[in-house]
């Protein structure tokens, strides 16, 4: 009788069981790793949204030129009024936080007004005066905050101090 070469059914089942246990172990490790990567991506997205919103606000506020007393922060902390001096003429400007997704920038000159709406992404923005004086609202503290993706009941906040270079 010739000798048959090959694997028995028991040997094949043992190999499949070992292979299946490795696959399960790799799946568990990869799932945890992918979950951590997803949380890191969400955190990076929040940081990007915060810095984008802060950059938009800063780019507008550094345009202020003129007297320091012309800068006025609203009582609610959601709007800043300021002047831009251009060729000895004052352009009255306002930056207003409409909601967590929209900024409104308005310039008024010679009775005409133009507005620009700028989208932001789920970011709360507030302004506060860091001055002890009641007549001057400089420097301005800009606070941007958004929900923290890692801890549900908390927020991530970034604070910036802005003193427009053209204001005296």
**What are the CA-CA distances from residue 90 to residues 53, 62, 64, 158, 164 (Å)?**
26, 15, 10, 32, 16
Tens digit of pLDDT for each residue in 77-119?
Answer: 999 999 888 777 889 999 999 999 999 999 998 889 999 999 9
pTM for this prediction = 0.80
Looking at residue 166, what is its pLDDT? 77
Query: Nearest-5° angle of CA 129, CA 132, CA 134?
Result: 75
Q: Which residues of the chain have pLDDT under 50?
A: none
Looking at residue 5, what is its pLDDT? 80
Looking at residue 7, what is its pLDDT? 81
Looking at residue 3, what is its pLDDT? 72
- Give burial (CB, 10 Å; 0-12/13-18/19+) of 147: middle
d(CA 103, CA 109): 20
Looking at residue 1, what is its pLDDT? 63
**Which residues on neighbouring strands pair with residue 117, listed in sequence order?**
104
């Amino acid at each position: 009788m010739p000798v048959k070469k090959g694997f028995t059914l028991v040997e094949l089942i043992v190999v499949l069981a070992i292979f299946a246990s490795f696959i399960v172990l790799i799946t568990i490790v990869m799932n945890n790793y992918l979950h951590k990567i997803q949380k890191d991506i969400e955190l990076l997205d929040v940081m990007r949204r915060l810095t984008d919103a802060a950059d938009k606000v800063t780019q507008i506020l550094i345009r202020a030129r003129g007297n320091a007393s012309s800068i006025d922060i609203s009582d609610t902390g959601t709007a800043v009024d300021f002047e831009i001096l251009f060729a000895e003429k004052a352009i009255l400007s306002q930056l207003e936080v409409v909601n967590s997704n929209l900024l409104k920038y308005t310039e008024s000159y010679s009775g005409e007004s133009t507005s620009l709406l700028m989208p932001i992404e789920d970011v709360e923005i507030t302004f506060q005066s860091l001055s002890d004086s009641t007549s001057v609202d400089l420097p301005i503290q800009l606070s941007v905050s958004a929900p923290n993706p890692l801890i549900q009941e908390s927020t991530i906040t970034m604070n910036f101090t802005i003193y427009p270079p053209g204001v005296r």
